[in-house]
Structure 1
Amino acid sequence: MKRSLQITILFLGIIGLFAGCSEKLDPKPITYSQLLTGTEKKTWRLVTFEVIDQKERSGVIPVQNAINPCRADDQYVFYADGGHKFEYQNGSTKCTANEGDLLFEDSWALTNGNATLEFVIPIFEDAVLPYTIKNLTENSMTVEIYFDKIYADPIDVSYRFTFNSNTR
């Protein structure tokens, strides 16, 4: 009897040892900025756009069919650094033989409260504009610019841009 009590106590002690060693899992959700930049930097390519004019939609337009082919493969690089560095880089097709790899450099800003991403889409406008994030996943991003937010005149027009990324 004494022997079985010792074995039971020893068995319970071993079980308690293993139960006490379990690691507490503390998942950290991915933020908008992590989806945008990855851990260091993330490269995006503009693939489609759509014009929405007074609720009338143009339909999704592939970028390679609508703009100069040398701009259709350009890349938008968002860095996860403290300065929020942004680069607009040449793709494999260059517009001129002497054109460099880096076309434009600036910064980006993200406001989570209203899902606004401020950056430059050079083929649309050479200025930092506030784009509303419509969708942002690890591989796809859709942003929309509302003209009534950037111009004083009340105009019911917006452009929707979709980007894809192959980097993580």
Structure 2
Amino acid sequence: MKKLLRLSWLILLVAGLFTGCSEKIEPTPATYSQLLTGTEKKAWSLVSYQVIDNGVASGVIPARQLFDYACESDDQYVFYANAEHKFEYTNGASKCDPSEPDVIFEDSWALVNSNAYLEFVLPVLGGKVPWTIKNLTPTVLTVEYYFGDINASYRFTFNSTTK
């Protein structure tokens, strides 16, 4: 009987330890995604691109050559660290038209760590594209889009503009 009483007290004590704490658990983003988003949001500017055709890469081409107007070359790609994975494409310091909004459009981004895919819209190509991450550091993001039917790809490099 004494053994049963001691066992009962032990069970109550252990149960009390586990039910006595009511700490709210806050999810935190994975470290890898924080390289892209920072702790709240992070802005990136397109700085260069390459065309790879049949395994032969062009030289690194400055991104400003992609745009019709110089005012487009300082636009920013903003990735948010929120649950919705908000993405914004915003005007940079120079707008092409003073009446343009600061945020050109909003969408969402998705990151698949298992195969290092990052999905987001690159307006130069139009539409959301699954990019393969070639390099992701706190200051540099390089992504590549592979064409499935031909041996070619586009590689784009961004620099973080968030301080």
Structure of higher CA gyration radius:
1
Q: Which amino acid aligns with 2:159?
A: N
SS at match of 2:114: coil
How many residues align? The count is: 134
Do the aligned residues in 1 keep the contact of 2:77 with 2:88 (CA within 8 Å)?
Answer: yes
2:102 pairs with 1:101? yes
2:41 pairs with 1:41? yes
TM-score by length of 1: 0.76
Tell me how far 1:93 sits from its aligned partner.
Answer: 1.5
Q: Which runs of 5+ in 1 are unaligned?
A: 1-29, 149-153
Tell me how far 1:54 sits from its aligned partner.
Answer: 1.0
CA distance in 1, matches of 2:104, 2:52: 29
Aligned to 1:90: 91
Equivalences for residues 42-57 of structure 1 within 5 A: 42-57=42-57
Q: Which runs of 5+ in 2 are unaligned?
A: 1-29
CA distance in 1, matches of 2:66, 2:83: 35
Aligned to 2:75: 74
2:122 pairs with 1:121? yes
**CA offsets per residue over residues 59-91 of structure 1, 9 Å max, x none?**
100112342211110000000000000000001
**CA offsets per residue over residues 20-55 of structure 1, 9 Å max, x none?**
xxxxxxxxxx62211000000000000000000111
Q: Which amino acid aligns with 1:39?
A: T
Q: Which runs of 4+ in 1 moved over 6 A?
A: none
Do the aligned residues in 1 keep the contact of 2:66 with 2:124 (CA within 8 Å)?
Answer: no
Aligned to 1:163: 158
Q: Which amino acid aligns with 2:153?
A: S
In terms of mean alpha carbon deviation, does 109-118 or 59-68 score higher?
Answer: 59-68
TM-score by length of 2: 0.78
SS at match of 1:113: helix
Q: CA RMSD in A?
A: 1.5
